[in-house]
């Protein structure tokens, strides 16, 4: 893959009362999508994507350890480090200007497809905030060559 890429991150969050099988355009689900230029590199068998979120201007790093885990780190006004591993719970502090929250992610499923000029990931997980279930979530990350 080329060094210059476009990364698209799409997320869909369902509250406890909404079933995961509902359509994406449901009024009861909250969705977001961000596309931004990024830098891609491969080091020690791990894929790295470094980007700045357009809306928040927060630098982020995505690390993909093929078949094992997805690691997303953001730093700025809010700091977070989320790790996704299938059938595992990962807990991390989420630092905001108003105080810290404890985020827990239980990864229900993860699909990673790596091609020469494209990487696509889909992650299904439950999100807990300070030990209370907040939502079921789907995240899709698409990394494509941007020449």
Label residue 16 by pLDDT band (50, 70, 90): low
Identify the CA nearest to 78 among candidates 47, 99, 55: 99
Element spanning 62, H or E? strand 59-65
pLDDT score recorded for residue 14: 77
pLDDT score recorded for residue 26: 47
How do residues 79-90 score in pLDDT, each as one tens digit?
889 999 999 999
Whether the predicted pLDDT of 57 surpasses 60: yes
What whole-number percentage of the chain has pLDDT above 70? 86
How do residues 94-141 score in pLDDT, each as one tens digit?
888 889 999 999 999 999 999 999 999 999 999 999 999 999 999 999
Cα 115 to chain centroid, rounded: 19
| C-alpha to C-alpha distance for 131 and 127, rounded to whole angstroms | 9
């Amino acid at each position: 893959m080329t060094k210059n890429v476009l990364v698209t991150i799409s997320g869909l969050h369902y509250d406890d009362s909404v079933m995961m099988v509902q359509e994406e355009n449901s009024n009861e689900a909250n969705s977001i999508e961000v596309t931004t230029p990024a830098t891609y590199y491969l080091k020690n068998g791990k894929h790295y994507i470094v980007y700045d979120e357009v809306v928040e201007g927060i630098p982020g790093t995505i690390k993909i350890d093929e078949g094992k885990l997805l690691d997303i780190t953001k730093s700025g006004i809010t700091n977070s480090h989320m790790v996704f591993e299938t059938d595992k719970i990962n807990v991390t502090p989420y630092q905001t200007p108003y105080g810290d929250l404890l985020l827990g992610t239980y990864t229900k499923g993860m699909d990673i497809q790596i091609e020469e000029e494209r990487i696509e990931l889909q992650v299904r997980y439950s999100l807990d905030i300070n030990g209370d279930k907040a939502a079921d979530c789907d995240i899709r990350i698409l990394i494509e060559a941007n020449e």
